[in-house]
Structure 1
Amino acid sequence: MKYAKNILETIGNTPLVQLNSVTKEIDALVLAKVETFNPGNSVKDRMALKMIEDAEADGRLKPGGTIIEGTSGNTGMGLALAAIVKGYKCIFVISDKQSKEKMDILRAVGAEVIVCPTNVEPEDPRSYYSVSKRLGAETPNSWYVNQYDNPSNAIAHYEQTGPEIWEQTEGKITHFVVGVGTGGTVSGTAKFLKEQNPDIKIWGVDTYGSVFKKYHETGVFDENEIYPYITEGIGEDILPKNVDFSLIDGFTKVTDKDAAVYTRKIAKEEGIFVGNSAGSAIKGLLQLKEHFTKDDVVVVLFHDHGSRYVGKMFNDDWMRDRGFLEEEIKTAADLINNHKERVLVSAQTEELISHAIERMKEYKISQLPVKDVNGFVGSVDETDLLHHYISDKNIANKPIKEIMGKPYPIVKKTAKIDEISKLISKENEAVLVDLENGNHHIITKYDIISAI
């Protein structure tokens, strides 16, 4: 009989799958190393088990111990599966930009999950780097994994991922393209492949807000490049020891929007349901297309599974809120499509200014059209209210008509976006849309910005 003695024996030997649609602009044969076939649905299963086994061997991890790690989710999953089989506890520290699905999955496999803010410096005591280190120092009988600097991370890919790709391509691979985060996958795989054939080119995919590309090209760690980004699993605001820049031939950067859009394309055009970093990898691959010829064999690695991003890249509302959805917006009707079911919030001329202030706070809006029995006759916005309040603290009990500005222009549903944008200025904060049924809706500067 053929069977695995436990789930850990199913790690590795993931398939290479030819890509046909999303890479049609590229002449070369493009093969995806689909790491979602690992039991934890990501490439991180490989190094998670290797790091645990090496820690067991040298006594860093003792029987009944607690595994502590800062993770974006996938390493935590791999560590948790191994911990279940081997009898360890897990505490994982994760940043709040990671998907809810990742957090829920980690809790589902028995881990304690601590969520930390993303938008803080790595040295900040609230960062997930700092919190995981502190827990490692404070928790009895614990082992802090530190995947960023743990050499077992890269060794796992030197021993497994590299040899698998070499064997599966019969040594014909010419390029390896992969997103770079902790650096273990790219460095370990690259080291093995270049030992077999030094001419194999290794390309790292980076994201905007990360330091890798510029550091590789200039040797400068530019803190001005560091800012929050949405893409998960790749890019860093630190330089992990596992990133061996000498093995990487070059980097290309991919935007958050392109990463999200191409993640969805892979699912719809190839039938491969993978995560956000795979979208980055494919867009990066397309950005590098001039480097490939028809005789090349290009392997691109897909890190993790799309199920961890159902509430994000695979959710239309999430995509639309960030301006990532590829929708053609031409008219007023298109601009209000996302919120057309909401009732227009307005105020009456005789209402007190305090009512307008409360309404703005309740609905989290910055402006209100003002009506009387004849229709729209004025408007108020938060800037005007602030200026009036500073000059007169008793303003709250005055009627709105005493401070209201001009009424907002009214356009038809068919009005073009360029026509509408010209109507919005410092003096005029919004435009009303006539819905032709006696109702109106509002278009603000935010709607215009979101559309472009």
Structure 2
Amino acid sequence: MNYANNILETIGNTPMVRLNKVTEDIQATVLAKVEYFNPGHSCKDRMALKMVEDAEADGRLKPGGTIIEGTSGNTGMGLALAAVVKGYKLICVITDKQSKEKMDILRAVGAKVVVCPTDVEPTDPRSYYSVSKRLAEETPNAWYVNQYDNPSNAQANYEQTGPEIWEQTNGKITHFVVGVGTGGTISGVAKYLKEKNPDVKIWGVDTYGSVFKKYHETGIFDENEVYSYVTEGIGEDILPKNVNFSLIDGFTKVTDKDAAVYTRKLALQEGIFVGMSSGSALKGLLQLKEHFKPDDVVVVLFHDSGSRYIGKIFNDDWMRERGYLDEEITKAVDLIQSHIDKPMVTVRTEELVAHAIERMQKFKISQIPVIDVNGFVGSVDESDLFQAYIKDSNIAEKPIKEVMGAAYPIVNKEALIEDVSKLITKDNQAVLVDLGNNKYHIITKYDIIGSIK
């Protein structure tokens, strides 16, 4: 009989698949190492198991212990599989930008999930780096994995992923392209491939908001390059020890929008259902096409499964809200598609200013139309309310009619964007669009800005 003794024995030996339609402009042979065939559906299974086994071997992880790690989700899944089979507890510290699917999956395999804010400095006590370390210190019999600096991360890819790629290409690989996060995959694979053939070129794919590309090119860690981004699993605001820059020939950066768009293209044109970092890797490869000759063999690694991004990349509403769908936006009605199904927030003339402020805070809006029994009669804007408050601190208890401005102009839903834009001025911050059947919606300058491609 041919079977695995447990799920951990099925890690590795993932397939290599030729890309065709999405790379039709590239003459070289382009192959994808599709890592979602691992049991935890990502490349992180390899290093998670290696880190656990190495920690067991040297006594850092003891029987009945608790594994603690900060993760974007995939490493947590790999650790969870190891914890289930080997009998450990697991606490995963994750940022709030990660998909809900990732959090639900981690809980499904027994992990405790702690969610931390994304937009804080790495040294902030609320960051997932800091919280992970603190929990490891406070939890009895705990082991903090620290995948960013743990050498077993890169070693796993040196021992497994690199040799698999070399054997699957019969040693003909000329370029390796992969997204860079903790650095374990690119560094481990690069070390193995360059030992086999020093001429193999290693390209890292970075994201805007991350420090890798500039640091590699200049040696400067530029904090001005650090800002929030949407893409999960690649890019960093720190320099993990696992990123061996000396083994990397270059970096290319990919936008969040391109990452999302090219992730969808892989599903639609190749039938390869992967996550957002794989879309980044594909777009990065296409940006590097001038480096590839017809006889070259280019391998790109696809990190994880698209099943963890159903509520994001593969959700039209989520994509539309961020301007990632290339829809033709020419009319007033096109501008409000992301919120057309939601009722427009209004306030009545006799309501208090406090009520308008509460609604602005609740719905995170800056402008509200004012109505009475006859229809739209005025408007309130947060900047106007602020100026009124400076003059009179008791403004919150006054009726809206005493502070409201002029009513917003109303346009037909077929009105051209150019005409709508002209109506939004310094003194008029919004326009109402008539959808028919006594239904209206609001267009603000941010809707106009969001339509710009």
Question: When the two structures are superposed, what TM-score results if normalisation uses the length of structure 1?
Answer: 0.95
C-alpha deviation, 1:20, in angstroms? 1.0
Distance change >3 Å, CA 227–CA 348, structure 1 → 2: closer
What RMSD in Å do the two structures reach over aligned CA positions? 1.9
Give, in whole Å, the separation in 1 of the partners of 2:83 and 2:373.
70
Corresponding residue number in structure 2 for 1:327: 327
- In structure 1, the residue matched to 2:103 is 103
Which residue type is aligned with residue 418 of structure 2? D
Q: 1:344 to 1:102 in 2, by over 3 A?
A: closer
Matched, 1:76 2:76: yes
Q: Point out the more displaced range, 182-191 or 91-100.
A: 91-100
CA gap of 1:210–1:354, structure 2 versus 1, over 3 A, is closer
Give, in angstroms, the shift of residue 340 of structure 1.
Answer: 2.7
Distance 2:424 2:354 in 1: 26
- State the partner residue of 2:129: 129
Stretch of structure 1 that moved more, 194-203 or 316-325: 316-325
The residue aligned with 1:440 is 440
- Which secondary structure does the structure 2 equivalent of 1:203 belong to? strand
Superposition map of 1:7-156 within 5 A: 7-156=7-156
Identity of aligned residues (%): 79
The residue number in structure 2 matching 1:368 is: 368
Question: Which 5+ residue runs of structure 2 have no aligned equivalent?
Answer: none
1:374 Cα deviation from its structure 2 partner: 5.6
Q: 1:16 to 1:64 in 2, by over 3 A?
A: same
Bigger Cα displacement from structure 2, 123-132 vs 135-144: 135-144
Farther off after superposition, 437-446 or 297-306: 437-446
Which residue is equivalent to 1:212?
Answer: 212
Per mean C-alpha deviation after superposition, the further-off stretch among 40-49 and 127-136 is 127-136
Relative to 1, partners in 2 of residues 1:75 and 1:411: Cα closer, same or farther, differing over 3 Å?
same
Residue identity in the other structure for 1:289:
K
- Relative to structure 1, the CA distance from residue 164 to residue 367 in structure 2 (aligned partners, 3 Å threshold; closer, same or farther) is same
Q: 1:20-419, aligned counterparts within 5 Å?
A: 20-349=20-349, 353=353, 356-357=356-357, 359-361=359-361, 363-371=363-371, 375-396=375-396, 399-419=399-419
**Amino acid in the other structure paired with 2:27:** D
Q: Which sits farther off after the overlay, 243-252 or 56-65?
A: 56-65
Q: In 2, Cα distance between the equivalents of 1:400 and 1:141?
A: 60
Cα distance in 2 for partners of 1:320, 1:188 equals 38
Question: CA offset at residue 369 of structure 1?
Answer: 2.9
The residue type equivalent to 2:75 in the other structure is: T
1:51–1:370 CA distance, 2 compared to 1 (3 A): closer
**Residues 184-204 of structure 1 deviation map (CA, whole Å, 9 limit, x = unaligned):** 100110111111111110000
Amino acid at match of 1:161: T
- Letter of the aligned partner of 1:16 in structure 2? M
- Residue 372 (structure 1) shift: 5.4
Amino acid at match of 1:210: S
Per the alignment, do residues 218 and 363 of structure 1 end up closer, same or farther by CA in structure 2, a change over 3 Å counting? closer
Distance 2:9 2:201 in 1: 31
SS of 1:195's equivalent in the other structure is: helix
CA distance in 2, matches of 1:75, 1:123: 21
Relative distance call for 1:250 and 1:430 in structure 2 (3 A) is same
**Cα deviation 1:82-111 (Å, max 9, x = unaligned):** 121112221221111111111111111111
Unaligned runs of 5+ in 1: none
Aligned AA for 1:385?
L
Task: Specify the code of the residue in structure 2 equivalent to 1:82.
Answer: A
Change (3 A) 1:439 1:129: closer
Q: How far apart are residue 436 of structure 1 and its match?
A: 4.0
Distance change (3 Å), C-alpha of 1:372 and 1:103:
closer
Distance 1:39-1:350 versus aligned 2 partners, 3 A rule = closer
Shift of 1:381: 1.8
Partner of 1:300: helix, strand, or coil? strand
The Cα of 1:393 is off from its aligned counterpart by 4.1
Q: Distance in 2 between matches of 1:316 and 1:146?
A: 35
> What letter matches 2:183 in structure 1?
G
